[in-house]
Amino acid sequence: MSEIQLIATDLDGTLIGNSREFHLFAEFRDRIAAIRLQRGCVWAICTGRTRRSFKRYFAPMLMVGLQPDYVIVRHAYICGTTSLGSFPHLLWNMRIACEQWVQRSRIRRVLDRWHRAIVRDIPDVETLARKPERLWVALAGEEHAALAADLLNKQPLSSRYLTAFRRLKEVDARCVPFTKGLALSELARRLRIPAEGILAIGNGHNDASTLDGAVSRHTGCPMNSEPEIMWIVHKNGGHIASKPSLAGVIEILDAYESGNVRSALPDSWRNPETFDPGERLELKRRPHHRSKAPQSVLLVGAAVCAAPLAFAQFDLLPFSGWIRMPFELLIAAIRWAVEVP
């Protein structure tokens, strides 16, 4: 832990899990405060949330005295924090935005080049989906799919920014969410902290670019991490916690403090390439909750219309007859429709 100068943590599922581990907030506060005081570490939170959403979601931690030095919001934009709130570093973020555009342009060219190569060299290629940052193809057999995946791995940028999921006869090439890695790299550059001085902790696919070893040499993930994230941390010799969310983050800090970093994959881990497409979809499915906003608007509108109508029935408002007229016409139309044979 002595060489670590920057600790970067994800928010959703990492610092704050589904169970809302409020009882651990004070323990984490004391642990991170001691590390920052004794080691002079900087703490940054990397999240996909907006500044406003982050402020609302992080409020319980803020109430117990937790406040990071920096927040990377919307996966990419660096904000400094003070007791008065957060403020964006405009010049830093302009550089990140330009780098995002450059890398996305390169990724599109790589995918186009790969698609032309497999169509030219492999027979019977069916394109299932083609987008700027994704290319999904089906081939005649599993051997052809393996060949197509190998061709992608030989393309430039494929090792860090592209990943290929091969399932039976299909190859799904996708852009790895890399903006968090770009932002963390820019933050480290501004603070003059090398990769050897960064500890990154995350649990989801959008954390992969901070955990791949290029931005941070020290990594960790809680037990509730995606299988691909566990594999990345395992390959880079990071710590795979035996506990989920915040409890896992505390375990990772303890492991690096004591030097007992454990990279072994848990017994429950399964190689994501062994999932068939149906099983993967089932794993990713989340309950869908329909928004109640339209119903609320209708109820409010009905209440607003009903109030003056009720007063107009007793001639308590000016122009009560005009107010009652649409309602009376509607009632008359309904009666006429019912009485017509």
Stretch 37-47: mean pLDDT: 92
What is the architecture of the domain spanning 95-175? Alpha-Beta Complex (3.90)
- What are 120-142's pLDDT values in tens digits? 888 888 988 888 888 899 988 88
Question: Which pTM was predicted?
Answer: 0.71
Answer yes or no: is pLDDT of 5 > 50.
Answer: yes
Give the domain ranges of the chain.
6-75+178-284, 95-175, 293-339
Do 6-75+178-284 and 95-175 share a fold?
no
Average pLDDT in the chain? 82
Is domain 6-75+178-284 classified as CATH 3.40.50.1000? Answer: yes
Q: Which of 104, 138, 105, 107 is nearest to 123 (CA)?
A: 138
Amino acid at 180: K
CA distance 171 to 309: 63
By percentage, how much of the chain surpasses pLDDT 70? Answer: 79
Task: Compute the average pLDDT of residues 185-213.
Answer: 93
* Rounded Cα–Cα distance for residues 260 and 8 (Å): 20
Give the pLDDT confidence of 60-102 residue by residue, as tens digits: 899 999 999 999 998 888 999 877 777 889 888 888 888 888 8
Of 275 and 58, the one with more pLDDT: 58
Tell me how far apart the alpha carbons of residues 319 and 119 are, in angstroms, rounded to a whole number: 75
CA 132 to chain centre: 19
Return all residues near 55 (Cβ < 8 A) that are at least 6 apart: 85, 86
pLDDT at residue number 19: 64
Strand-pair partners of 239: 220
What number is the average pLDDT over the span 275-280? 48
